[in-house]
Each structure stands twice: as structure tokens, then as C-alpha cells.
Amino acid sequence: MRPKRRLVIAIDGPAGSGKSTTAKLVARRLGYTYLDTGAMYRALAWKARQEGVCWKDEKRLAALAKRLAIRFSGKEGTQRVRVGRTEVTQKIRTPEMDQGSSIVSIHPKVRGELVAIQQRLGRRGGVVVEGRDTTSVVFPKADLKVFLTAGLKERARRRQKERGGPSVSWHERDLKLRDRRDTKRKTSPLNKVPDAVEIDTSRLTIHEQVQRILLEASRRA
């Protein structure tokens, strides 16, 4: 199923829909680079906390984004994230950074800085990129656009299993807040573009999700 030419595969969808795990596995199967755009916003939120920059201060956040020294590295399917010399892979995967990334991402100037970085990283193809505006803004001409979705309760159940937390209902409330913020923001809101392939992952295994995307990629070779 491996496509003959190096594609840009863009995957969007709400939190808990399976984007990250699926994108990593698709990239591994194809020998592509995995680009986690959400990790960039999380890293920026983390760095802002370290430097005492308010998540609502667009001007200072944009300046921080411009000089954000973020690096991705991967070994045996595990992606590590560094900001400067600091390993932040686990530090940016917390409920606080969930909300922080959602807040900093609403700022147009911040998005402009990070989107420019993302586009440079993917301009030669051979990438699987996932986030919330990758099909609409970052790579509007991607060879394959995918929109992953799942029911709220299923997404909350996955989050609780992955990260723990007080209860599934707590994660439901948290995801509702994130969904509202992501879909209602003025700049680059989360939405399904007309030419994206929609895949409801509620009843699919990760293997089935990956196979669906690999099949679609082979059709665009």
C-alpha cells in the first residue's frame, strides 16, 4: 500500500479522536516524518509558563513563538520533544497544558509564527501532520486530508484511560470546553474541509484506523 511518491498527509479532528496515535503509526508504516502541530502549541504554553508570560498576551506569546527552539526526535516509534535543552515530552501532556495549548492557539499572531514553521518542515513531502487546522490552513493542498472524529463519551473514556483523572465525566466536561474553544475561535477554527475523508473512530481499532488511511494514501500515489 506504500504510495510511490512522497505525500503530505494531513489529519485533523477533536481531542481524543485518535489523531496522534494513528498519525504516528501511519508515518512509521510509510517511513515518513511525523509532525505533531499540537505539541508545538503545548510547548509554547509550557515555555510561557516558565517565563511568566500570560497565555492571553498575544504580543509576547508571538515573540516567544518566533524564537521557540523546539526539536522533535523519534526512536522506535516514540517521539520526544525538547524546548532548548529541556526534555518536555511528558511536561506538555498534562491537563494544564491541554488548556494552555487551546488558549494560546486562539491568537492569530501566534498561529502565524507556528504555521510558518510547520509549512517549512513539510514542504518536501513525506510527512504525516496532525492537528486542528492542518487540512484547512497549514496544508490546504495536502495530497490526502483526513478528519477523524468520535463520540464525546468515547473520547472521554480514551482520555481517562490514557491519562487517568477523576472520572470519565470530568474528561467529558474538559473536552466540551476544548471543543467549544477550538471550533469557535476566529482564527483557524477546527472544521472538516469539503475534500477531507471523514473517519468515525468510535468503533474502530487503531489498526483499522491506520489501514483506512494507508488505503486512501495508496489511491493518491
What's the CATH code of the domain at 98? 3.40.50.300
With respect to residue 220, please indicate whether it lies within any of the assigned structural domains: no
At residue 144, φ and ψ (nearest 5 deg) are -135, 125
Chain mean pLDDT for the chain: 91
Of the candidates 42, 49, 9, 5, which has an alpha carbon nearest to the alpha carbon of residue 25?
A: 9
Give me 49's grid cell: 509558563
Of the candidates 89, 86, 92, 57, which has an alpha carbon nearest to the alpha carbon of residue 69?
A: 86
User: Is residue 3 pLDDT above 70, yes or no?
Assistant: no
Q: Which tens digit of pLDDT belongs to each residue from 120-160?
A: 888 889 999 998 889 999 999 999 999 999 999 999 999 88
With respect to residue 45, please indicate whether it lies within any of the assigned structural domains: yes
With respect to residue 14, please indicate whether it lies within any of the assigned structural domains: yes
Residue 17's pLDDT is: 92
Domain range for 19 is 8-213
Residue that the C-alpha cell 510547520 belongs to: 118
Domain count for the chain: 1
Q: Which tens digit of pLDDT belongs to each residue from 154-208?
A: 999 998 888 887 889 999 999 999 899 889 888 888 899 999 999 999 999 999 9
Q: In which band, very low, low, confident or very high, does the pLDDT at 29 lie, cut at 50, 70 and 90?
A: very high
Residue 77's pLDDT is: 55
Q: What are residue 86's DSSP bridge partners?
A: 83
Give me 23's grid cell: 498519525
With respect to residue 219, please indicate whether it lies within any of the assigned structural domains: no
With respect to residue 58, please indicate whether it lies within any of the assigned structural domains: yes
Tell me what percent of the residues of the chain surpass a pLDDT of 70. Answer: 96
Q: Which tens digit of pLDDT belongs to each residue from 52-110?
A: 999 999 999 999 999 999 888 765 556 789 999 999 999 999 989 989 998 999 999 99
Q: How far apart, in whole angstroms, are the C-alpha atoms of residue 18 and residue 36? A: 13
At residue 69, φ and ψ (nearest 5 deg) are -90, 80
With respect to residue 218, please indicate whether it lies within any of the assigned structural domains: no
With respect to residue 3, please indicate whether it lies within any of the assigned structural domains: no
Residue that the C-alpha cell 483523572 belongs to: 165
With respect to residue 147, please indicate whether it lies within any of the assigned structural domains: yes
